[in-house]
Amino acid sequence: MNISLRLSALFFLFILLSLRVSAQQKYTLNDFYRVDSIANQAKPKDALALVEKINQAAKKENNAPLLIKSVIYRMMFQSYLEENAFDKILVDLRTDISNAKQPEKSILQSLLAEMYWNYLQQNRWKIGSRTEVQGDIGNDIKTWSIKKLNEETIKYYLLSLKEAKILQQTKVDVLDAVLAGDKNNRNYRPTLYDLLAHRAIDVFSNTQINLTQYDDDSIDMSNAAWFGNRQVFLAIELTNDSTLFKPQALQLFKNLIRFHQNSNNFSALADVDLKRLKFIQQNFSSYDQELYNNALSNLAEQSTQTEVYADILYEQALMHKNAQLSVDTNKQNLLTAVALAKKAIEGYPKSIGAQNAENLIRQIKSSELSIKIKRYIQPDKPAQLYLSYKNTDTVHIRLFKAPESQNDYEQFKNKNDFLAFFNQNKVIKKWFVIVPKTSDYQSHTLIDKIDGLPFGNYTLIAQTVNHEQKDTVYSNINFKVTAMAVINRRNIEKHEYFVSQLSNGAPLKNVKIQQQRYDYNKRKYINGDLITTNENGYATTNETDGNMSFAVATFGKDELKLNINNYNTYRDDEDKERVILFTDRPIYRPGQTIYYKGICLRSKDGKNNIEVNKALEVFLMMLTVRK
């Protein structure tokens, strides 16, 4: 009986243990597919609950990828579910950091630094405009100043790199499940130390930092030695101030270069050295592109065995493309850029540098075309046609009658609208212009002519075909053929027009001007006042409705439509005085005599009158600039 009871108790205990073991579910990265599925069912709370379970399991198992991914997912759902989630996210992340081991701790510290930085970027204006809180402000980020946020950002980025030896011995592949991008390029960031150091450098290199007023003065960035080779760069002393972005960025470059010199990873070494040169060029106090180009050439010679060689050649090609070097004044810079880009492609055809080089060549060899003509030209007289072109030998030109509804400011709404007009409207005239053949990839200009045309509105479309890139380039412009020049303005409670001959400016009499406005009730344009110019070419109307859209001036067969604006309804009835002073020069030497003159104006009813014989006092004040 006792034996039977004992066996029953043991069997019952075995069942309990089995149940307990089965209840301890083991989570993997595949469980995030379940999280996504639950979230897609509009159940974010359930998804967050599962993420919390995964997070707890990851902590117990010291599973770095699972922990990092669960933290990222948790922050995402918290920000969605909670109104003031940022504070809760920070508290949870700080707790995770305090409990985490390496290398998870460093990764989370870098993540926290990024959160501080992003918060500053999103709220910089709000933070900068409020009164700074003095004394101990604690952990409430809403009370932090810009300086405090910058300090915390630097602090945690540097803390994330504190355990350098451990991070340098940890391959970045441990985060394979949470890293995005092409795995083939991970040889540039082979360890966690590389990944976290480059994350910090990307923030420390930000041009909009303005961390402190003395940041730029902490280092002499006019020293050409910054562009020296690695050994020269490593020998330059840096300030130990851990609150400054720029010195910390340079120190991280030094650390990475020393690390990869010892590890013999030439790809990562060349990559960080190229990034170092870009950073120095960006912050160099003198605009000396030659130093940068020479440094790139030296680095290219040392990097021929790595794909970074293609990146370096691309950077040099880009400089020549933008004509940044003294040699580029000979207009052969684009040829040099193409040659360097081709060299990059030939060296490492499957590299990112080669892809960038291919895009650069495609951009340089692309065709460009622009056509210009005066907006108003005289009838039955030839007019000049201005062509600007690149990488083409023939320009085909077609002339169309412009539709009445054509907008002067927006010729076509989109490409489909343009092509529909091009294919559906009748061509009045077409011809082609053979332009001088060039092979320098530069933009060139040519002046051609268009024969005389009768009154009317016209659209001119120029077209060229780039056979190498199988692309067609268009340029279009609207113009009007008229003998009239019309000026109009709103003057207080009337609208004035002045019409003259386009050829010589002589006033035109008996020009009829029909105003039109848009009726929103009838949803159409209706006629307003019809006025006629006098012998001075002048006409006026008291019709100043704000809905007045345009006017049509007619003189015989000549008709000209012009946009008008009657929204200027401001009127200052007050009697005001003002003085305008003029000096004989903008800047004076100490002790030099200042000569000045002034006009006193009185404004009333929109008219200015010069005040005469009025005595005024003039004061000379010295402006004191305080910093």
pLDDT at 348: 94
In this prediction, residue 207 carries a pLDDT of 65
The string over 56-65, giving b where at least 16 C-beta atoms fall within 10 Å of a residue's C-beta and e elsewhere, is ebbbeeebbb
Higher pLDDT pick, 415 / 14: 415
Q: Give the list of residues 6+ apart from residue 168 with CB closer than 8 angstroms, or none.
A: 191, 192, 193, 259, 263
Q: Is residue 171's pLDDT more than 70?
A: yes
Dist. CA 17–CA 23, nearest whole Å: 10
Q: What is the pLDDT of residue 295?
A: 94
Query: Could you report the per-residue pLDDT of 312-332, keeping only the tens digit for each?
Result: 999 999 999 999 998 888 889
Query: Residues 380-399: what's their mean pLDDT?
Result: 94
Q: What is the pLDDT of residues 214-226, one digit of tens each?
A: 455 667 788 888 9
Rounded to whole angstroms, how far apart are CA atoms 118 and 113? 9
| Residue 242 scores a pLDDT above 80 | no
pLDDT at 346 over 90: yes
pLDDT reported for residue 99: 87
Asked if residue 407 has pLDDT above 60, the reply is no
pLDDT of residue 163: 93
Question: Does residue 452 contact residue 380 with C-beta atoms inside 8 Å?
Answer: yes
The pLDDT tens digits of the residues spanning 259-301 come to 999 888 899 999 999 999 999 998 887 777 899 999 999 999 9
pLDDT tier, 406 (very low <50, low <70, confident <90, very high otherwise): very low
Count Cβ neighbours within 10 Å for each residue of 527-555 and write b for 16 or more, e otherwise: ebbebebeeebebbbeebeeebebbebbb
* Cβ–Cβ under 8 Å, residues 448 and 439: no
Which residue spans within 96-199 are E strands per DSSP? none
3-state secondary structure of 246: helix
* pLDDT confidence bin for 19, thresholds 50/70/90: very low
What would the pLDDT profile of 427-477 be if each residue is shown by its tens digit?
999 999 999 988 999 999 999 999 999 999 999 999 998 888 888 899 989
Across the chain, mean pLDDT equals 84
| Residue closest to 511 by CA, chosen among 535, 488, 480 | 535
Closest CA to 56 of 40, 74, 42, 38: 74
Q: Residues, the chain, total?
A: 627
352: pLDDT strictly greater than 80 = yes
Q: How far apart are CA 391 and CA 413, in angstroms?
A: 27
The maximal CA–CA distance of the chain, rounded, in angstroms, is 134
Which of 607, 497, 493, 496 is CA-nearest to residue 545? 493
**Tell me, what's the pLDDT at 349?**
95
Report which DSSP code applies to 240: -
Specify whether the CB–CB gap between 336 and 329 falls below 8 A: no
For 515-566, how does the pLDDT look when each residue is reduced to its tens digit (9 = 90+)?
988 888 888 888 989 999 999 999 999 888 767 788 999 999 999 998 887 6
The pTM for the full model equals 0.76
